[in-house]
A and B are shown apart, each in its own frame.
Chain A
């Protein structure tokens, strides 16, 4: 059973904080979402946002706030946001149990 939440690993949270500090945000959250496109239909979006919007779902874990708009949340529930580093690292990785098919490069999916 997939938990109906979105979580972020400790390493991913640390990396997100590093990016936010570089962009000189004091108060910030990590906006996590999806948008149409990519070979399979949906791609992930990540950005640093100063504040949440009224309709956002806000989740706090490992010292970081995640802002997720309602429509994206439907496609992301159960996702674990991780960070893969090293020479072959992919950076931020979405482990999304809703993704039934994933395109060759792994950046887009369909449900």
Chain B
């Protein structure tokens, strides 16, 4: 699948604004940058930025049993979610491995589920597999609307009073250019961020409107840099069936008192008996970026592996996300990352790093 028909007008608008396309996610080509990734990064860090997240899958779930079923299939407590509220939650296998990290928003008349890019088919199949007599209908709504995200410390000001005070994963309606739109606070890059679900036919106009209000269009390069600096895991890098939610730092999305869900026994046992083998942390590197999946060594032995690497303006150096064995997973550990015939030196740290981001 190349860029979808529904995103074509938006793509044209982005091209007119200087977008360069060289990355692809979930079948949609997304802008890599708009000519100046450094300026785009600064906008996300210091003011407000406009990010196209349309590659992330979106499911519409209707029927009386939607929350109950999702509650039985995932890690967080969803059963009491009132309209206007939402939660992050992890679909796990019966071995406690990550199928996907989801945002579930109760929009009142329906549930909106945001999946990772390209995982929506798998998520729908998983829900179908465990649907027996429940009153539930799941529809893939990814193609019918764009997902535009306004991120950064001034993001709320771009969207107006309606979003002021909106808690993480809560949703409300905003009016943009006399169009009512649903906005959900997702903090997708680990900084304040609001996702707007925009019907495809309005996506280009809303995108232009948000840019007019001062949100600086940013591409994947700047977004990826902020994501890694904030320590936010991404599907295919830090999320997937190779990992469990505790390893991937998803503790805030796990309820330990909600009762059974698929994978619960394993997740609870790992946590109770401190059997988590590795965990996600940051590594600041001294020089050029090694491969994003390079091994990490300390004192001559392997202690982990990299999963993502960016050139971090906040650190003034390359910054990696890495899974580090629990026994070594403490900030300040000197490590080496073999890169070709050399080894790049680095130091572990907890992310997000509060120092250095000013």
Interface residues of A (CB under 8 A from B): 33-43, 69, 71-72, 101, 103-104, 107-108, 110
What's the minimum C-beta distance from A25 to chain B, rounded to whole angstroms?
A: 19
**B256 touches A (CB below 8 Å):** no
- Residues of B contacting A107 with CB < 8 Å? 260
Name the residue on B nearest A107 (C-beta): B260
Residue interface bits B249-279, CB-to-A below 8 A is 1, else 0: 0000000000011111110000000000000
Q: Which of A36, A41, A103, A110 contacts B132 (CB 8 A)?
A: A36
* Whole-angstrom CA separation of A17 from B94 in the bound complex: 35
- Residues of B contacting A103 with CB < 8 Å? 260, 265
* Whole-angstrom CA separation of A108 from B73 in the bound complex: 13
Tell whether, in the assembled complex, residue A39 and residue B263 are in contact, meaning their CB atoms are under 8 Å apart.
yes
- Residues of B contacting A69 with CB < 8 Å? 132-133
- Residues of B contacting A71 with CB < 8 Å? 132
- Residues of A contacting B73 with CB < 8 Å? 36-37
For residues 107 through 138 of chain B, which have their beta carbon under 8 Å from a beta carbon of chain A?
Answer: 129-134
Tell whether, in the assembled complex, residue A37 and residue B260 are in contact, meaning their CB atoms are under 8 Å apart.
yes
Q: Which of A33, A34, A39, A110 contacts B260 (CB 8 A)?
A: A39
Tell whether, in the assembled complex, residue B260 and residue A38 are in contact, meaning their CB atoms are under 8 Å apart.
yes
Given A36-B69, A104-B265, A110-B94, the answer on whether A43 and B260 have CB atoms closer than 8 Å is yes
Tell whether, in the assembled complex, residue A35 and residue B260 are in contact, meaning their CB atoms are under 8 Å apart.
no
Interface residues of B (CB under 8 A from A): 69, 72-73, 94, 129-134, 260-266
* Whole-angstrom CA separation of A108 from B133 in the bound complex: 17
- Residues of B contacting A108 with CB < 8 Å? 260
Tell whether, in the assembled complex, residue A36 and residue B260 are in contact, meaning their CB atoms are under 8 Å apart.
no
Q: Which of B129, B133, B262, B265 contacts A37 (CB 8 A)?
A: B262
- Residues of B contacting A110 with CB < 8 Å? 94
20 contacts between A and B (CB under 8 A): A33-B132, A33-B133, A34-B132, A35-B130, A35-B133, A37-B72, A37-B130, A37-B261, A37-B262, A38-B260, A39-B262, A39-B263, A39-B265, A41-B94, A69-B132, A71-B132, A101-B94, A103-B260, A103-B265, A108-B260
What's the minimum C-beta distance from A31 to chain B, rounded to whole angstroms?
A: 9
Q: Which of B130, B264, B265, B266 contacts A36 (CB 8 A)?
A: B130
Tell whether, in the assembled complex, residue B265 and residue A41 are in contact, meaning their CB atoms are under 8 Å apart.
no
Tell whether, in the assembled complex, residue B130 and residue A41 are in contact, meaning their CB atoms are under 8 Å apart.
yes
Tell whether, in the assembled complex, residue A36 and residue B133 are in contact, meaning their CB atoms are under 8 Å apart.
no
Given A104-B265, A108-B260, the answer on whether A39 and B133 have CB atoms closer than 8 Å is no
Name the residue on B nearest A34 (C-beta): B132
- Residues of B contacting A43 with CB < 8 Å? 260
- Residues of A contacting B263 with CB < 8 Å? 39
What's the minimum C-beta distance from A57 to chain B, rounded to whole angstroms?
A: 14
Tell whether, in the assembled complex, residue B131 and residue A36 are in contact, meaning their CB atoms are under 8 Å apart.
yes
* Whole-angstrom CA separation of A43 from B260 in the bound complex: 10
* Whole-angstrom CA separation of A42 from B261 in the bound complex: 9
Going nearest first, the 7 A-B pairs with the smallest beta carbon separation are: A36-B130, A37-B72, A39-B265, A41-B94, A39-B264, A38-B260, A40-B94
* Whole-angstrom CA separation of A37 from B67 in the bound complex: 13
Given known contacts A37-B72, A38-B260, A72-B132, what 14 new A-B pairs fall within 8 Å (CB)? Answer: A33-B132, A34-B132, A35-B72, A35-B130, A35-B133, A36-B262, A37-B130, A38-B262, A39-B263, A39-B264, A40-B262, A69-B132, A104-B265, A110-B94
* Whole-angstrom CA separation of A101 from B260 in the bound complex: 16
Name the residue on B nearest A108 (C-beta): B260
Name the residue on B nearest A104 (C-beta): B265
